Amino acid sequence: MRSFETLLTEITDGILLVTINREDKLNALNQTVLKELNEVIDELYSNTEVKGMILTGKGPKAFVAGADITEFSSLNEESGKALAQNGHDIFFRLERSPKPVIAAVNGFALGGGCELAMSCHIRVASDNAKFGQPEVNLGIIPGYGGTQRLVQFIGKGKALELLMTADLIDATTALSLGLANHVVPAAELLDLSRSIMNKITSKAPVAIAKVIEAVNAHFTDGVDGFKTEVDLFAKCVATEDFTEGVSAFLGKRKAAFKGK
């Protein structure tokens, strides 16, 4: 994998670790970060060596503290729409990845950072993490999916409160609301993220991809999630992994899945 200006990447045991590397800017999302993140997602999709991805921020203070506001001063209605659409496109690619993506949230996940974390499949938070969508303080609303995904995770009433007050919530509150899956001391953040990823990637890769697709169908307008589940179940039955999984279960041995 090529080197990047704003990202650090490494692949270990099939897990792609991506670190947003703008610690002096609290890992704020600028257009370079988004462009490079989109390139990394290409790698996630296409590299057969990669089984899943963990996304985190550099340093102890922030996962991503928001968008880079210095890029906002020249926005008009047309360029603002293009900026938001670009963020939507990239974050949808993460959400729809056939391979699992875990956000290891190490500190602030605000604005675009909270939106980025919510586009991942699982969120593991350090005990110093804080989540929020404070965009109304700037006279705007979230532009990378925050008004939609926050409602999915914590419900309409609480989402409206956080979106309109710009209040931040700590990791424990995020866990209780269902926004975070786990909260651990910062020193254990990556270890737990890797442990969860290793458990997921030990399962049948095709089945994992279909789980993601079926769950996403529930939130897709015009798509019948139940019908999608039936269709995807049938496709799983037609795979070599299904044959191997049943054989291993009946033979009381560990399955050797090939992703086929």
pLDDT digits (tens, 9 = 90+) for 209-230: 999 999 999 999 899 999 999 9
Residue 247: its pLDDT value, please? 92
Residue 73: its pLDDT value, please? 86
Is 161 annotated as catalytic?
Answer: no
- Pick the catalytic residue from 135, 161, 229, 244: 135
CA neighbor of 87 nearest in space, from 62, 121, 118, 56:
118
DSSP 125-186: EETT-EEE--GGGGT----SSHHHHHHHHH-HHHHHHHHHH---EEHHHHHHHTS-SEEE-G
CA neighbor of 143 nearest in space, from 82, 93, 55, 198:
82
pLDDT band at residue 188 under the 50/70/90 scheme: very high
Q: What is the pTM of this model?
A: 0.95
How far out from the chain centre does Cα 137 lie? 25
pLDDT band at residue 242 under the 50/70/90 scheme: very high
Residue 223, SS3?
coil
Residue 1: its pLDDT value, please? 73
CA neighbor of 150 nearest in space, from 171, 174, 126:
174
Is 49 annotated as catalytic?
Answer: no
Residue 77, SS3?
helix
DSSP 108-142: EEETHHHHHHHHSSEEEEETT-EEE--GGGGT---
CA neighbor of 110 nearest in space, from 133, 136, 91, 137:
133
Average pLDDT of span 141-157 = 98
Average pLDDT of span 165-190 = 98
- Pick the catalytic residue from 5, 39, 71, 115: 115
In this predicted structure, the answer to whether residue 185 has a pLDDT above a threshold of 90 is yes
Phi first, then psi: what are they for 17, rounded to 5°? -100, 120
Average pLDDT of span 184-195 = 98
Question: What is the tens place of the pLDDT at every residue in 61-112?
Answer: 999 999 888 898 899 999 999 999 999 999 999 999 999 999 999 999 999 9
